[in-house]
């Protein structure tokens, strides 16, 4: 049982470049989330989705876009990367308040 | 909006000693409460959760937590710590009707000395 899979695991971008982070879950969960983790700040919600074709903004959505075209996938896009987006990104999925299942994270560095 | 405070950034305990990690939340009604553990370079793993009912919750790896409404707390405890428990621990709160969004505390890093 793979759970939540994130790709890539590591990436280095130059300022202004774009990229997409992919999250895939095989648990048929309705809800999916993207968080970023920064030292001393815990995890902050970027965007989330309550079902296929729906997305919503979280606490820190600026500079990011998301799409959920298929129930099992949740994509996070950076259109023009900035150094402030250097972080570890976590995807999670949930079956209605029963606790999250997290992916192993993507470490992104923007230089 | 709900919030979570973990007042201890870093805690060091000796192997075999007892452990208590503090978590305080702010929310007007009864929230859903969670504790997660994160080992270096890994994702977060659910230790335990509280939704309702018995206020003492048992989790994996010998951890337990007690919900105290009067103190708005959900402290994590373990009677005897093992070296493998060294990790970062996050408390989180969720509320109903919010698409199960969780708000996380800033974490407590646990160091275990031999």
What the block records as the tokens of A28 is: 């048929």
Strand B19-21, strand B73-78: pairing:
antiparallel
Handedness of CA A6, A11, A13, A17 (dihedral sign): negative
pLDDT given at position B95: 75
Average pLDDT, consecutive stretches of 10 residues, N- to C-terminus, chain A (111 residues): 90 97 95 93 93 94 97 96 97 82 95 97
What the block records as the tokens of B82 is: 């093992």
Residues B46, A99: C-beta atoms closer than 8 Å: yes
Residues A40, B106: C-beta atoms closer than 8 Å: yes
Chain B residues lying within 8 Å of A25, measured CB to CB: none
pLDDT given at position A109: 97
Q: Which residues of chain B have pLDDT under 50?
A: none
pLDDT given at position A2: 73
pLDDT given at position A40: 84
From the list A68, A60, A71, the residue with the least C-alpha distance to A25 is A71
Q: Residue A86 gets which letter from DSSP? A: -
pLDDT given at position B96: 67
CA distance B21 to chain A (A): 16
From the list A17, A20, A18, the residue with the least C-alpha distance to A8 is A20
pLDDT given at position A97: 59
pLDDT given at position B97: 64
pLDDT given at position A85: 97
A103 touches chain B (CB under 8 A): yes
* CA closest to B88 among chain A residues: A42
pLDDT given at position A39: 87
Residues B94, A43: C-beta atoms closer than 8 Å: no
Distance CA B52, CA B30 (A): 8
Q: Which residue has the tokens 């709160």?
A: B93
């Amino acid at each position: 049982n793979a759970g939540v899979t994130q790709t890539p695991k590591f990436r280095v971008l130059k300022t202004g470049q774009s990229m997409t982070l992919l999250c895939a879950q095989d648990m048929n969960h309705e809800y999916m989330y993207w968080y970023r983790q920064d030292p001393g700040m815990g995890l902050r919600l970027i965007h989330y989705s309550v079902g296929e074709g729906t997305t919503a903004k979280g606490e820190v959505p600026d500079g990011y876009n998301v799409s959920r075209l298929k129930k099992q996938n949740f994509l996070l896009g950076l259109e023009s990367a900035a150094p402030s987006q250097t972080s570890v990104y976590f995807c999670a999925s949930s079956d209605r308040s029963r606790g999250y299942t997290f992916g192993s994270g993507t470490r992104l560095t923007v230089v | 909006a709900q919030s979570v405070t973990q007042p201890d950034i870093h805690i060091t305990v000796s192997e075999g000693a007892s452990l208590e990690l503090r978590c305080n939340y702010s929310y007007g009604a009864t929230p859903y409460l969670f504790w997660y553990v994160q080992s270096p370079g890994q994702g977060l793993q659910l230790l335990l959760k509280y939704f309702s009912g018995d206020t003492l919750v048992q989790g994996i790896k010998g951890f337990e937590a007690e919900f105290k409404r009067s103190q708005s707390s959900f402290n994590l405890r373990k009677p005897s710590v093992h070296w493998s428990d060294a990790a970062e621990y996050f408390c989180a709160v969720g509320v109903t009707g919010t698409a199960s969004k969780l708000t996380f505390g800033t974490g407590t890093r646990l160091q275990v000395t031999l």
